[in-house]
């Protein structure tokens, strides 16, 4: 007779196999939870499914997800980022690497608004790759800039990934957001310094904007920069500020951000029924994916724990004799490898709950762990041989841009991500100083 913990471990391996084969993940998790749970729990497993679905729908933290998604999609569909990109390209025109610097800044802003890796890489690829290729930029530098800036959205607040992590880990979303500020903006600043430095040393890699393209009066350039930056800047500062200082919940701030995005789109003359319909459709599709995944993962985790498999895994990990740092880096390695075939949504709601109960045992702050997971996933998305960001860019790049060139362009930015990950581990205050300053111990 197979013991219950062994049945739970078998369920875990079947789930991993089903994901790699390509079954729909959310419904696979629900089906496995029912299939493996029914022999031991009877009809109670169906009651548990209903309870988990209701708990997901009533989760105060997850309610912010569709609103932040809507804010990002409205900004994308209204062409707000296009205008910002073209104005900043003129502003930085005389500098080496002008278009790459612009790409990094605009991509960071879009990452703040969206947090979706695929959308970030695709949008910035469509927007920035053609002008960089026309300006004779190095394909490697162009590809590295676009793919790295597209991954920033999963770390820089108001990241949707951090919302889902906070809901999964049961930690304060405002503290997670405050903790992510240091590593997130440090990484963005290091990206900018690298781009400027390499183009200053080797101007042929990223030349300034051609004179004929920046033959625009400075008054016009400053006006365009102001018009494109101020509304988005106000939206970003207001939404983040009222969350961080505790004036509103994340959900209320997200609702205000979505409203402001609609107002900005209307002010730019881009608001239309077709744009609204498309933004709502994309928001509904993405939100449904996240929430059903959350329901399936919650049911799977409950059955997994009921069978005693979670306790068995914990005993096995404790039996390895790992210290706090050893466990942390084993967890980071597993999450890094999972980032090759999976999106962050599956990793956060399916696999992170396996590690969470062990954080207290190894005295690891869940806030630092969450930020390190976000940086780690950015690193994974830029790491060959899979590197999902590379495939997103390859899908919209001209045929002469090869996958190997994209890979080579990502390596310097990958190194910067690894440096940020190490600094987050070696210097906990990078993450903890702002939450501690705002909220105390």
Q: What is the pLDDT of residues 202-241, one digit of tens each?
A: 888 888 887 777 778 888 888 888 888 888 888 878 888 8
Average pLDDT over residues 408-433: 90
Categorize the per-residue pLDDT at 117 as very low, low, confident or very high, splitting at 50, 70 and 90: low
- Host domain of residue 127: 4-439
Categorize the per-residue pLDDT at 197 as very low, low, confident or very high, splitting at 50, 70 and 90: very high
Contact yes or no for 33/296 (Cβ under 8 A)? yes
State the average pLDDT for the chain: 83
Please determine, for residue 121, whether its predicted confidence score (pLDDT) is greater than 90: no
**For 153, which DSSP code?**
G
% of residues, the chain, pLDDT over 90: 6
Higher pLDDT, 114 or 212: 212
Name the burial class of residue 255, with classes exposed (0-12), middle (13-18) and buried (19+) by CB atoms within 10 angstroms of its CB.
Answer: buried
Categorize the per-residue pLDDT at 415 as very low, low, confident or very high, splitting at 50, 70 and 90: very high
Average pLDDT over residues 277-303: 83
**Per residue in 366-394, pLDDT tens?**
899 999 998 888 888 788 776 777 877 88
Angle formed by the axes of helices 324-338 and 352-361, nearest 10°: 170
Categorize the per-residue pLDDT at 112 as very low, low, confident or very high, splitting at 50, 70 and 90: low
Contact yes or no for 30/303 (Cβ under 8 A)? no
| The dihedral sign for the CA sequence 272, 274, 275, 281 | positive
Instruction: Give CA torsion, residues 65, 68, 74, 75, to 10 deg.
Output: -140
- The predicted model scores a pTM of 0.82
In this prediction, residue 191 carries a pLDDT of 92
In this prediction, residue 114 carries a pLDDT of 58
Please determine, for residue 283, whether its predicted confidence score (pLDDT) is greater than 80: yes
DSSP run (H or E) holding 180: helix 173-201
| The dihedral sign for the CA sequence 344, 346, 350, 354 | negative
User: Helix or strand or coil: residue 158?
Assistant: coil
Contact yes or no for 124/107 (Cβ under 8 A)? yes
Categorize the per-residue pLDDT at 173 as very low, low, confident or very high, splitting at 50, 70 and 90: confident
**CA 3 vs CA 10, 29, 38, 39, 216: distances in Å:** 11, 21, 15, 13, 75
User: Helix or strand or coil: residue 408?
Assistant: helix
Categorize the per-residue pLDDT at 342 as very low, low, confident or very high, splitting at 50, 70 and 90: confident
The 10 Å Cβ neighbour count of residue 270 is: 17
Please determine, for residue 194, whether its predicted confidence score (pLDDT) is greater than 90: yes
Categorize the per-residue pLDDT at 258 as very low, low, confident or very high, splitting at 50, 70 and 90: confident
| The dihedral sign for the CA sequence 297, 298, 304, 310 | positive
Structure tokens at 174: 């405002």
In this prediction, residue 335 carries a pLDDT of 87
Using alpha carbons only, give the angle 307, 313, 315 rounded to the nearest 5 degrees.
110
Average pLDDT over residues 30-44: 85
Q: Is 426 left (phi over 0), alpha (psi -120 to 50) or beta?
A: alpha
Contacts of 173 (CB under 8 A, 6+ apart): 61, 64, 162, 163, 166, 167, 243, 250
Higher pLDDT, 148 or 57: 148
Angle formed by the axes of helices 98-113 and 218-244, nearest 10°: 30
The 10 Å Cβ neighbour count of residue 425 is: 18
Which residue bears the tokens 């068995």? 312
Least confident of 11-15, 38-42, 239-243, 315-319: 315-319
% of residues, the chain, pLDDT over 70: 97
Higher pLDDT, 343 or 114: 343
In this prediction, residue 422 carries a pLDDT of 92
**Per residue in 50-108, pLDDT tens?**
888 888 777 777 778 788 888 878 877 777 777 888 888 888 888 888 888 888 888 88
Cα separation of 270 and 300, whole Å? 44
Query: End-to-end alpha-carbon separation of the chain, Å?
Result: 50
Categorize the per-residue pLDDT at 268 as very low, low, confident or very high, splitting at 50, 70 and 90: confident
The 10 Å Cβ neighbour count of residue 169 is: 20
Cα separation of 141 and 438, whole Å? 39
Contacts of 293 (CB under 8 A, 6+ apart): 25, 26, 29, 345, 346, 349, 350
Which residue bears the tokens 């762990």? 369
* Number of structural domains in the chain: 1
In this prediction, residue 195 carries a pLDDT of 92
In this prediction, residue 441 carries a pLDDT of 61
């Amino acid at each position: 007779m197979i013991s219950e913990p062994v049945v739970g471990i078998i369920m875990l391996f079947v789930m991993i196999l089903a994901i790699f084969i390509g079954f729909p993940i959310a419904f696979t998790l629900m089906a496995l939870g029912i299939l493996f749970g029914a022999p031991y729990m009877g009809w109670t497993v169906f009651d548990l499914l209903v309870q988990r679905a209701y708990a997901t729908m009533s989760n105060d933290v997850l309610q912010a997800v569709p609103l932040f998604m809507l804010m990002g999609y409205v900004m994308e569909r209204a062409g707000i980022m296009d205008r910002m990109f073209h104005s900043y390209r003129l502003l930085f025109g005389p500098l080496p690497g002008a278009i790459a610097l612009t790409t990094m800044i605009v991509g960071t802003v879009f990452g703040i608004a969206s947090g979706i890796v695929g959308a970030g890489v695709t949008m910035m690829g469509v927007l920035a790759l053609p002008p960089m290729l026309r300006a004779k930029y190095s394909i490697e530098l162009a590809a590295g800039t676009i793919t790295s800036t597209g991954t920033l959205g999963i770390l820089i607040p108001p990241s949707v990934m951090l919302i889902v992590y906070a809901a999964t880990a049961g930690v304060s979303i405002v503290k997670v957001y405050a903790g992510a500020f240091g590593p997130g903006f440090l990484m963005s600043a290091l990206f900018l310094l690298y781009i400027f430095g390499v183009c200053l040393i080797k101007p042929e890699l990223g030349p300034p904007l051609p004179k004929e393209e920046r033959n625009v009066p400075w008054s016009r350039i400053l006006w365009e920069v102001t018009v494109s930056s101020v509304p988005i800047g106000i939206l970003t500062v207001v939404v983040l500020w009222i969350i961080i200082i505790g004036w509103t919940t994340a959900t209320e701030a997200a609702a205000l951000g979505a409203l402001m995005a609609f107002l900005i789109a209307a002010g730019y003359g881009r608001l239309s029924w077709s744009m609204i319909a498309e933004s709502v459709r994309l928001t509904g599709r993405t939100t449904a994916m996240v929430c059903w995944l959350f329901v399936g993962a919650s049911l799977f985790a409950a059955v997994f724990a009921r069978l005693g498999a979670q306790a068995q895994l914990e005993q096995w990990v404790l039996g390895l004799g790992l210290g706090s740092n050893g466990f942390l880096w084993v967890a980071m390695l597993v999450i890094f490898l999972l980032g090759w075939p999976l999106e962050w949504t599956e990793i956060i709601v399916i696999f992170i709950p396996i590690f969470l109960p062990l954080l207290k045992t190894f005295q690891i702050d869940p806030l630092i762990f969450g930020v390190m997971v976000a940086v780690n996933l950015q690193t994974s998305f830029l790491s060959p041989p899979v590197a999902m960001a590379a495939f997103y860019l390859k899908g919209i790049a001209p045929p002469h841009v090869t996958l190997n060139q994209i890979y080579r362009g990502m390596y310097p930015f990958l190194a910067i991500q690894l440096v940020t990950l190490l600094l987050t581990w070696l210097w906990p205050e990078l993450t903890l100083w702002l939450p501690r300053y705002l909220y105390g111990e």
